[in-house]
Amino acid sequence: MSTDLLHSEDRKSMVREAYQAVVSTHGTVACKLYSEEQLTLVPPSARDIALGVGNHMKYADIRPGDVVLDIGCGGGIDSVLAAHATGPEGTVYALDFLPEMLERTATAADEAGLGQVVRPIEGEMEAIPLPDRSVDVIVSNGVINLSPRKARVFAECARVLRPGGRFCVSDITIVEEQLPPEVLVHPAAWAG
Amino acid sequence: MKLEKAGFGAVEVVDRQSVSVDDFTLYPLFTGDLITLMRTLIPEERQSSVATAVVVRAIRSASAA
């Protein structure tokens, strides 16, 4: 019998429980990270629940007609911004392993008039349910750090991206030596 | 680096922002007990920068499998 030293299922359960219980931040995170111009493009439902850690969307270089994958779409703010950039000729696959988040993203896309562009898909970032070489741009915001198998996630990103495809993500990094051991052994410190 | 091993090139960090203990209070994984632990154990002068938020860009290499 093998032992999962990465505690993959424990981590997944912890993330699931934490994010299923998410309540509105009343736009606090969104207003800190995004420009006013970007915020005018997204409905309040997506602004209020945004939990990203950066504004990679201003660097993502999404073009009209692009196929975009948003890994861990959450409340949908980046999926909606991506859909504005692709326009009706493009597609934004909004991936999340929580059905609750997919519903929120679908609602936000509908409210933004982009329901035909944003396609919510349930799945895990370690096994992206899309064909090889089917995506032009991957975006993600504060999500990949939650995976115990980051190398696997990057391999999946490389698989689904077309050659020359762009990867643009925001995420958190920590320097372990700068945090006390009591903090590092806390389950939440697995993320990082 | 994991991205390069996976088949990415032109990897670059295009933005870096310090993350404080106060910032972490907004995120669901950082429970009240963890925030209290951080405020107690991390010297006050270092609490304004306990992590870094980065934006990373990369291009999938044409030669990747």
Over the stretch B3-46, which tens digit does the pLDDT of each residue have?
999 999 999 999 999 999 999 998 888 888 889 999 999 999 99
Question: Chain A to chain B, count of Cβ pairs less than 8 Å apart?
Answer: 124
- Whole-angstrom CA distances from A104 to A44, A49, A52, A97, A101 are 11, 9, 15, 13, 5
Mean pLDDT, residues A68-81: 97
Cβ pair A59:B55 closer than 8 A: yes
Mean pLDDT, residues A88-100: 96
Amino acid at A32: K
What is the rounded CA–CA span in Å between residue A49 and residue A187? Answer: 23
pLDDT bucket at A3, cuts 50 / 70 / 90:
low
Strand spans (E) along A20-146: 67-71, 91-96, 118-122, 135-141
Over the stretch A140-190, which tens digit does the pLDDT of each residue have?
999 999 898 899 999 999 999 999 999 999 999 887 777 888 888 776 666
Closest Cα in chain A, distance from residue B52 (Å): 5
pLDDT at A175: 76
Answer whether 0.80 is exceeded by the pTM: yes
Domains contained in chain A, CATH given: 8-187 (3.40.50.150)
* CA contacts within 13 A on the Cβ side of A98: 21
Which H or E element spans position A99?
A: helix A99-111
Closest Cα in chain A, distance from residue B38 (Å): 7
Instruction: Give the ipTM.
Output: 0.92
For all residues of chain A together, what is the average pLDDT?
A: 90
Cβ pair A172:B19 closer than 8 A: yes
